[in-house]
């Protein structure tokens, strides 16, 4: 077919009977070859997900949609087919592993002969209303989450990812602070005999007595998991709840004095380096049924240093996540 002999296709947007040129179905590429991924990124889409009460809520998301191109003579793919089928599914149904698989299957079937694999990545902020630690207050938390699916020659892989902010108090800084407080206590009472409980309590209540405090910082747990398809469905909410339950010191929303005091107690009871945080999450995932693969990153955005402290661990399966 010459460059002037373009195949004509009827457009649904055109007046009835009008034919329009379809360049994608005309002349083949000047340089032929297969391609690993062709599609679109950062597509604005809605997603329907369950809130903490089991009710569906609609959130704004960004999606990446791709298929491969195995027909080396094909000029390109039909991007509008990916866009329209994905949009229709996401705006009408709850985001579930089954829905992701349906979308990917439709991506491939809409490019029969051209593609045999597809991928879909959806990123959004998951809103959860959280209760305060002790008071009757509550507030909203926003958790960055991701759902990534691939369908390769009929084999489905689904990856769920969450990011959870928490507080980490440095064990080394806590030990050094205790040493300074001990030295201050010895200096203040070295010349005195027996002390009463009231005297010690009075000393502890003075700001001048607590001469050092450990440093803590906001930290981020980035967890990505792949579940066995035969395992019970794991929700994004359950993953977030489990991460916060393992780390114990999730950042808070509405805070009164009693909540702040409880938060301080939790931090003192859960001193941790980034290595400790990663090991806690690793132990949780290793004991969780149906986890095929995982990648864990604990990032402590240091208040002492100008750099971050980071610990990463993967399950280590062949062809799986890498550090």
Conformational region of residue 3, where left means phi above 0, alpha means psi within -120 to 50, and beta covers everything else? alpha
Domain boundary (103, 125, 147) is at 125
Q: Are residues 224 and 272 in the same domain?
A: yes
4 inside domain:
no
Over residues 275-294, the pLDDT tens digits come to 999 999 999 999 999 999 99
155 pLDDT exceeds 80? Answer: yes
The residue from 125, 150, 171 where one domain ends is: 125
Instruction: For Cα atoms 148, 152, 154, give the angle at the middle one, nearest 5 degrees.
Output: 110
Of 100, 125, 150, which residue is a domain's last?
A: 125
Q: Which structural domain, as residue segments, surrounds residue 271?
A: 132-189+215-323
Does residue 259 fall inside a structural domain?
A: yes
**In this structure, are residues 220 and 249 in contact, taking their beta carbons and an 8 Å threshold?**
no
- pLDDT exceeds 50 at position 255: yes
* Cβ contact 128:240 at 8 Å: yes
DSSP structural state of residue 15:
P
117-131/155-169 β-pairing: unpaired
Label the pairing between strands 309-314 and 291-300.
antiparallel
> Does 167 lie in the same domain as 57?
no
The pLDDT, as a whole number, for residue 121 is: 98
- Whether residue 246 is found in the same domain as residue 261: yes
Do 138 and 109 fall within a single domain? no
Kindly state the percentage of the chain with pLDDT values over 90. 86
Does residue 241 fall inside a structural domain? yes
Examine the domain organization and report whether 173 and 279 are in the same domain: yes
Model-level pTM greater than 0.85? yes
Q: What is the pLDDT of residues 68-113, one digit of tens each?
A: 999 999 999 999 999 999 999 999 999 999 999 999 999 999 999 9
Give 194's contacts (C-beta < 8 A, 6+ positions apart): none
Domain presence at residue 149: yes
- What number is the average pLDDT over the span 44-57? 94
If asked whether residues 159 and 116 sit together in one domain, one would say no
């Amino acid at each position: 077919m010459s460059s002037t002999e373009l195949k004509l296709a009827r457009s649904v947007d055109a007046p009835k009977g009008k034919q329009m040129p379809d360049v994608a179905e005309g002349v083949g590429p000047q340089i032929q070859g297969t391609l690993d991924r062709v599609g679109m990124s950062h597509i604005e889409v809605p997603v329907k997900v369950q809130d903490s009460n089991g009710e569906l809520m609609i959130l704004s998301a960004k999606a990446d949609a791709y298929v491969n191109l195995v027909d080396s003579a094909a000029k390109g793919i039909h991007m509008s087919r990916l866009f329209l089928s994905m949009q229709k599914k996401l705006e009408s149904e709850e985001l579930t592993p089954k829905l992701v698989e349906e979308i990917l299957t439709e991506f491939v079937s809409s490019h029969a002969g051209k593609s045999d694999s597809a991928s879909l990545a959806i990123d959004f902020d998951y809103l959860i209303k959280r209760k305060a630690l002790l008071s009757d207050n509550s507030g909203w938390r926003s958790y960055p989450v991701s759902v990534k699916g691939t369908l390769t020659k009929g084999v489905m892989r689904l990856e769920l990812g969450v990011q959870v902010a928490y507080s980490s108090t440095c064990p080394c800084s806590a030990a050094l602070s205790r040493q300074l407080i001990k030295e201050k206590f010895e200096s203040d009472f070295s010349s005195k005999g027996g002390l009463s409980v009231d005297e010690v309590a009075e000393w502890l209540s003075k700001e001048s007595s607590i001469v050092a405090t450990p440093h803590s910082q906001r930290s981020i747990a980035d967890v990505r998991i792949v579940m066995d398809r035969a395992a019970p469905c794991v929700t994004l909410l359950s993953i977030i709840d489990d991460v916060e339950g393992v780390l114990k010191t999730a950042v808070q929303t509405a805070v009164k004095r009693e909540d702040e005091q409880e938060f301080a107690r939790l931090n003192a009871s859960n001193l941790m380096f980034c290595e400790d945080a990663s090991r806690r999450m690793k132990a949780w995932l290793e004991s969780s049924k149906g986890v095929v693969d995982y990648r864990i990153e604990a990032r402590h955005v240091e208040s002492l240093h100008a750099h971050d402290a980071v610990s990463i661990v993967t399950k280590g399966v062949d062809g799986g996540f890498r550090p």
